[in-house]
Amino acid sequence: MLKRIAFIASIAFALPVHAQAPEVTETVVQVIEQAEPTEPETTLVVIETTMGEITVALETERAPITAANFLRYADEDRFDGTVFYRVLSVDWGDQPNGFIQGGTQNNPDRILDPIAHEPTNETGVTHTRGALSMARFGPGTATGDFSIMLQDQHGQDADPDNEDPDRQLGYAAFGYVVDGMEVVHAIHAAPIDPELGEGWLKGQMLANPVTILDVRRLKPVEGK
């Protein structure tokens, strides 16, 4: 496409002054308007678990703070040996529905400093099927725990008009599963222990947490 634009432009500059340059200029505009929009930059990461691999595309351009945080945990092997430990199930929408949650569980030997919150209404990265989202207490407290959505969960997006300040900012989504949703579903379907968990988390904890063996960047194939 760029070569085509450059070729047309070169014709425009080569035309004599009495030629009908406006027609060429209009053609250039049409070519530019018809060009496909540039996709936001992402980084592919593989989450290898004992139940299989999940490949995710991190939104390094649209959610740079949150994506960079996840990549640092991956690059420094802070996720390796952690687990998916929580399953939330909801009875509305397409089934199964809810999310799985894993990560560092606030282990002081693994976590880094909390990161600034990136709300979905600013990033444009929303909680659709397969979205990755940072777990947190309040906005600006996220460290090394994350969730993966089974279906659209727009109730976790920012809602600036909500009366609840926490709901106004929502949760920070920062990437999407591009391969391995069957693994996400398998983890979600694993048995829970009804006695594990405290408070509102009770009944959401896996009886046998699924180990995260390795989280690593996916190297691009040469020539692509």
CA 151 to chain centroid: 14
In angstroms, rounded to a whole number, what is the distance separating the alpha carbons of residues 135 and 192? 20
In angstroms, rounded to a whole number, what is the distance separating the alpha carbons of residues 211 and 27? 57
Q: Amino acid identity, residue 103?
A: G
Helix (H) or strand (E) holding 183: helix 181-188
Which structure tokens are listed for 191? 């048995």
pLDDT of 36 > 80? The answer is no
pLDDT (tens digit per residue) in 196-213:
988 889 999 999 999 999
* Residues 54 and 215: beta-carbon distance below 8 Å: no
In angstroms, rounded to a whole number, what is the distance separating the alpha carbons of residues 150 and 14? 56
DSSP H helical ranges for 15-127: 21-34, 64-75, 120-123
Which structure tokens are listed for 92? 């509305």
pLDDT > 70 in the chain, percent: 81
What integer is the mean pLDDT of 133-162?
A: 97
In angstroms, rounded to a whole number, what is the distance separating the alpha carbons of residues 224 and 209? 37
Confidence band of 153 (pLDDT split at 50, 70, 90): very high
Nearest partner of 78 among 195, 174, 216, 194, judged by Cα: 216
pLDDT (tens digit per residue) in 73-105:
999 999 999 999 999 999 999 999 999 999 999
- Positive or negative: CA dihedral 125, 115, 74, 149: negative
pLDDT of 170 > 60? The answer is yes
